[in-house]
Amino acid sequence: MNGAGFILAINLFVAGLLSAAFMMIAVYDRSRVAARWLAFAYAIGMGFFAIEAIIPSLDNARVAVVAAVACLLAGMGAFNAGVARKYGVEIPWRLIGTVFVVSLVVNYAIQDLPRQSFTRLALYQAPFAIMQAIAAGIVWKAGARHKLDRMLMTLLCLSALQFMSKPLLAHAVGGWGARPQDYIGSSYALFSQSMATVFAIAIALLLMVILVRDVLTDATQRSETDTLSGLHNRRGFEDRADRALRDAERQGVPLSLVICDLDHFKSVNDNFGHAAGDAVIVAFAQFIRSAMAPHFVAGRIGGEEFAIILPGTNIVAARLFAEGARSAFAGLPVQELPDDRRFTASFGVAELAPGERIADLMRRADAALYDAKKSGRDCVRVSLKAGQRRPTLSVTGNGQKVRE
């Protein structure tokens, strides 16, 4: 076996390994439709390398050459479908199908041109370059801005360029054989197959890293998300709150924490059932999500206890937010409860003090919440840093003003 034949055998083996690897990702996480498409793409690509390997043994290779091109283009079309599924872009089936059909017709026709014709080789390679350019366009259209996604788009563009450079390479190394059967023994075949191997493996491995990154990210999010409310659970909230605290210290901006607890929640479960209790949790979580700013972080940190971190917000603004949330939620109806039944919540507010950690801040906010509960519920209490003046009045749900 010559050098080009050895590279061809390696390509066949690598395509099989990549197909199996993507299929393992698809089996591990059945929601990864992109992984199934990519596994299918590399499985089809194996057909191209297999046909290329048997062409030297054929008397008339015309049909076999077209079949090999069809396999490679079909594999690249499936690859593009996988990339589109990964990035949430509509699969350009019409464009892919047009390139596929026109390319096969052109490929069959150009075999009547002289074997060493630059035009013939350029027309042979152009469809592969177009397919790779389509994949790059899909990533670009998705607006992906992560470093790995930009690297993938760059690799796809370079791969398209290497296909277009092959006519120049063929002429530089003495052509690609007088007959299709002679291709495998040419120097051009060795260089061409090697280039294809490098780009195919680099693109596949990068895509694999991107898919594994997505799987791990989703797994982390699921482990840090409260299934009932859809907010962060305590672990997820504290992790993001700690990051927000570090960012606030680095940027020199204030940060506040609001902890809230649903009033008389046990009575809802006792009188109306756990489905009604769940409905209250869901309603309050949806309310918090709609009321808070995009850069705030909210979590369900206990059964009926919630917390919201407010970056860039001092104690005065945080208290206003809590008062507004308390008043608005008290007027909202809740499914599973009688129309005339309203639910209230109590709030504790604290602003980050120099040298504090998230546990310290949560402890102070929780103490303020305890004060709100002792003061009759449906009210807001604040925990002040040294030197701060406490606002003199708090408004409860029944309109009563309470001196703090």
Q: Which of 223, 243, 260 is the last residue of a domain?
A: 223
Q: Note whether residue 229 is domain-resident.
A: no
DSSP sequence for 51-102: HHHHGGG-S--HHHHHHHHHHHHHHHHHHHHHHHHHHT----HHHHHHHHHH
Q: Do 218 and 283 belong to one domain?
A: no
Residue 32 — φ and ψ, nearest 5°? -85, 75
Identify whether the C-beta of residue 2 lies closer than 8 Å to the C-beta of residue 185: yes
Q: Which residues of the chain are under the pLDDT cut of 50?
A: 387, 391-404
239 and 219 in one domain?
no
Quote the domain boundaries for residue 342. Answer: 234-403
Has this prediction a pTM greater than 0.85? no
What's the pLDDT at 339? 72
Question: Does 48 share its domain with 126?
Answer: yes
**Residue 35 falls within a domain, yes or no?**
yes
* 257 & 195 share domain: no
Asked if residue 228 belongs to a domain, the reply is no
Domain boundary among 223, 248, 266: 223
Residue 215: count other Cβ atoms within 10 Å of its Cβ: 16
What are the residue numbers of the active site? 304
Do 205 and 282 share a domain, yes or no?
no
Number of domains in the chain: 2
* Same-domain pairing of 83 and 180: yes
The verdict on 155 and 19 lying in the same domain is: yes
Both 239 and 123 in one domain: the answer is no
- State residue 396's pLDDT score: 46
Q: What is the pLDDT of residue 394?
A: 47
**pLDDT tens-digit map of 326-366:** 999 988 887 767 777 778 899 999 999 998 999 999 999 99
Answer yes or no: do 170 and 267 share one domain: no
Percent of the chain whose pLDDT exceeds 70: 89
Residue 211 domain-assigned?
yes
Domain boundary among 176, 200, 223: 223
Report how far apart, in Å, the C-alpha atoms of 175 and of each of 27, 127, 167, 192 are.
Answer: 44, 20, 9, 11
